[in-house]
Structure 1
Amino acid sequence: MQFIIYYLNFQNGVLLFVMAYARIAIVFYMLPVLGERVLSGLVIKNTLITLTIIGLWPCSQLVISPEQGWFILLVQEVVVGLILAMTLCVPFWIAINIGELLDNQRGATLSDSIDPVNGGQSSVLSGFMNFAFGAIFFASGGMQLLLELMMKSYQVFPQGSNVMKIHWQELSYLLMVIAKNSIILAAPVLMVMLVAELLLGVFARYCPQLNPFSLSLTIKSFIAFIVFLLYGFRAMTEKPWQIFSNLALQTFIS
């Protein structure tokens, strides 16, 4: 009899672990700062996920009734984890888009390479921005904030909550936030490079034999780096960092 009780408790614990894993693991796999190049290997990543689940175990206590069905609850947790991961990835996607915009404006998109953080193909400056914001993330206590947001997600979306109440149209709000903040943060450099492009055009009009456009990549790259150093990293520690919160997640049910 005692063995049966232990077995049922173990079975319930495994189901609770699977439910928590379905929500938290998606965040670890989607977050660019925790990409394959940072946490290489499934053993290391799943060990960290398991330790995170143990730390958040009091938040994920769920009594599974036969009427609910564990498979339906698992699908709901996967959906909630996907929404949580997308909202937490927004600041990193903003940093990546800033690099893409600047590389597109300075004409360096032909030099696309492998991003050293998440392993995907991206422009040179895009990978650098992703790596730089990842350093800002860790230096500013980002992992502690990440765990706090995971804990608060159980208050916003408790286990077993109905995903049909989620406002899926708010996904367009996330796209708007990414596009808006990327353009705002990259606008000073884009305007300066546009002025440099106009001046090169005027110079080429009066001195066509010098072919100044052959130096346009070098000139615009130098200007972009100087201007971005004046404001860029300070702005990246303020604007995208403010978005890294639970507010975007709450918009899906408000």
Structure 2
Amino acid sequence: MSSLLQLTDTQISTWVATFMLPLFRVGALLMVMPVFGTTLLPRRIRLYLTVAITVAIVPALPPMPAVNPLDLSGLLLIAEQILVGAVLGFAMQLFFHAFVVAGQIVAVQMGMAFAAMVDPTNGVSVAVIGQFFTMLVTLMFLAMNGHLVVFEVLTESFTTLPVGSGLMVNHFWELAGKLGWVLAAALVLVLPAITALLVVNIAFGIMTRAAPQLNIFSIGFPLTLVLGLFIVWVGLADILNQYQPLASEALQFLRELAQAR
């Protein structure tokens, strides 16, 4: 009679760590990053994607340390993987929020700040122009395979940021310093529209001084709204040239965070 297969605790711990630790890093990224981390995608689908991506990349990953999931060291390693995945996902959120802020700025300038709707991706109320920019950048991000670049960087991060290294803490302040980049990028995106709307408002101001009896509010508000929509429509012709450098900079920053090539 053949003997039964006997497994040691070390073998079981190695097998568990091989799939469990990457699972938490991939899951944290999918829960935070744009497109996949929104409320539009059900949690069950995100869980299936997490398992599928983990199974696909595990054969290409370096060996994982043997760990007991119920031990304190195992819990610390799990927390580290969640932190790494969340930081990488939040870096991409900054890129998307640059377009959201740009839409908010234009909406305020053209008088459409009151026209708000609930953003289904984040569950907050945003201006319609900001929601339009969000959907536009999402489509361009997927069309240019930006999500595949993110998954590539995630896979490389297991080599450049190995489990248990704690190297991500050194780059935490770099992520905080990138918050100013969001506002700068948003201003670059909407600077032509802001300038054009400023000229329109100055023209209305001159009209008010020249003809005080003219009810400028009944004329200026709808005219500013129509001109603002026209300016946004004209600016969309150059949106791709504005998107590409910002996307390249955001993805390069993601690689720097993960210390990838």
TM-score by length of 2: 0.83
Aligned to 2:154: 150
Worse overlay, 58-67 or 177-186: 58-67
Whole-Å Cα distance in 2 between the matches of residues 173 and 231 of structure 1?
Answer: 28
SS of structure 2 residue aligned to 1:113: strand
Worse overlay, 143-152 or 214-223: 214-223
1:52-67 aligned at under 5 Å gives the runs: 52-57=53-58, 58-59=60-61, 61-64=63-66
TM-aligned CA distance change 1:24 to 1:139, over 3 Å: same
Whole-Å Cα distance in 2 between the matches of residues 106 and 48 of structure 1?
Answer: 41
How far off its partner does 1:121 sit?
Answer: 2.1
Q: Which runs of 5+ in 1 are unaligned?
A: none
Whole-Å Cα distance in 2 between the matches of residues 242 and 78 of structure 1?
Answer: 25
Aligned to 2:51: 50
- Provide the aligned length of Structure 1 versus Structure 2: 252
SS of structure 1 residue aligned to 2:251: coil
1:106-117 aligned at under 5 Å gives the runs: 106-117=110-121
TM-aligned CA distance change 1:183 to 1:156, over 3 Å: farther
TM-aligned CA distance change 1:246 to 1:54, over 3 Å: farther
Whole-Å Cα distance in 2 between the matches of residues 14 and 96 of structure 1?
Answer: 41
Aligned to 1:26: 28
Match status 1:232 vs 2:234: no
218, 221, 226: which one pairs with 2:225?
218
Whole-Å Cα distance in 1 between the matches of residues 49 and 10 of structure 2?
Answer: 27
Whole-Å Cα distance in 1 between the matches of residues 8 and 125 of structure 2?
Answer: 49
Worse overlay, 193-202 or 158-167: 158-167
Instruction: Provide the identity percentage.
Output: 18
1:143-182 aligned at under 5 Å gives the runs: 143-163=147-167, 166-182=170-186
TM-aligned CA distance change 1:178 to 1:29, over 3 Å: same
Whole-Å Cα distance in 1 between the matches of residues 113 and 201 of structure 2?
Answer: 17
Larger Rg, first or second structure (1 or 2): 2
Aligned to 2:94: 90
Q: Is the 8 A contact 1:33 1:118 kept in 2?
A: no
Q: Is the 8 A contact 2:112 2:225 kept in 1?
A: no
Q: Is the 8 A contact 2:115 2:128 kept in 1?
A: yes
How far off its partner does 1:248 sit?
Answer: 4.0
116, 120, 124: which one pairs with 2:128?
124
Q: Is the 8 A contact 2:21 2:78 kept in 1?
A: yes
Q: Is the 8 A contact 1:94 1:181 kept in 2?
A: yes
Whole-Å Cα distance in 1 between the matches of residues 168 and 87 of structure 2?
Answer: 13
Whole-Å Cα distance in 2 between the matches of residues 204 and 223 of structure 1?
Answer: 23
Whole-Å Cα distance in 2 between the matches of residues 165 and 222 of structure 1?
Answer: 44
CA RMSD of aligned residues (A): 2.8
